[in-house]
């Protein structure tokens, strides 16, 4: 394992063969030698949080958020948020995840909290994500809370451009030191 990706973005590259992840941005919740877990930020569902809370928890909230499809693996409703007191997992960078029913209901009743709700998640077994990255399936970059909670529609494209500029920035100093007489 080269580097841990906790709290970073994974960007699906055009070389990723899995159509479930085409043009997706995944926020990495957990990454270690045992595998990886992330939440897709760019796949909103048609389901409203209110509907899901009423049907699954017999409760409601004041928020009218869409529930995002966190990935192809079934899992409990979870929330990506900024309240350390309601954290099941610390994702780094002041971001946390919870799937506890009480915490979900509390967050659903905080109209000004920055939070996203997810059904399902993206998961990889030990070494699986690293293998996909080596074959060019994923790009990585740093994540900010503003990007995590911002508009999802332009996110993939803007992050791919950022990664591209970074790659060019790293290559240009090298390229400027090349002796043109060597070619």
Q: Where are the beta strands (DSSP E) in the chain?
A: 8-12, 25-32, 35-40, 44-48, 66-69, 78-81, 89-92, 95-98, 115-119, 122-125, 138-142
Which tens digits make up the pLDDT trace of 37-73?
Answer: 999 999 999 999 999 998 888 888 889 899 999 999 9
Label residue 145 by pLDDT band (50, 70, 90).
very high
Domains annotated for the chain, with CATH where assigned, are 8-175 (3.40.1740.10)
The residue whose two tokens read 């790293």 is 170
- pTM to 2 decimals? 0.87
Distance from C-alpha of 82 to C-alpha of 145, rounded to nearest angstrom: 8
pLDDT of residue 57: 81
**Nearest residue to 136 via CA among 13, 54, 20:** 13
């Amino acid at each position: 394992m080269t580097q841990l990706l906790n709290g970073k973005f994974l960007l699906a590259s055009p070389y990723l063969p899995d159509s479930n992840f085409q043009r997706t941005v995944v926020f990495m919740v957990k990454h270690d030698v045992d595998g990886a877990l992330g939440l897709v930020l760019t796949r909103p569902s048609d389901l409203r949080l209110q509907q899901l809370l009423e049907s699954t928890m017999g409760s409601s909230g004041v928020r009218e958020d869409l529930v995002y499809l966190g990935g192809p693996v079934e899992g409990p409703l979870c929330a990506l948020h900024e309240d350390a007191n309601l954290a099941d997992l610390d994702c780094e960078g002041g971001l946390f995840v919870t799937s506890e029913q009480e915490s979900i209901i509390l967050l659903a009743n905080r109209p000004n909290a920055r939070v996203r709700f997810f059904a399902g998640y993206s998961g990889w077994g030990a070494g699986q994500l690293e293998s996909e990255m080596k074959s060019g399936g994923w790009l990585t970059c740093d994540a900010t809370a503003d990007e995590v909670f911002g508009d999802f529609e332009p996110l993939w494209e803007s992050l791919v451009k950022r990664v591209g500029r970074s790659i060019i920035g790293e290559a240009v100093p090298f390229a400027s030191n090349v002796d043109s007489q060597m070619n």
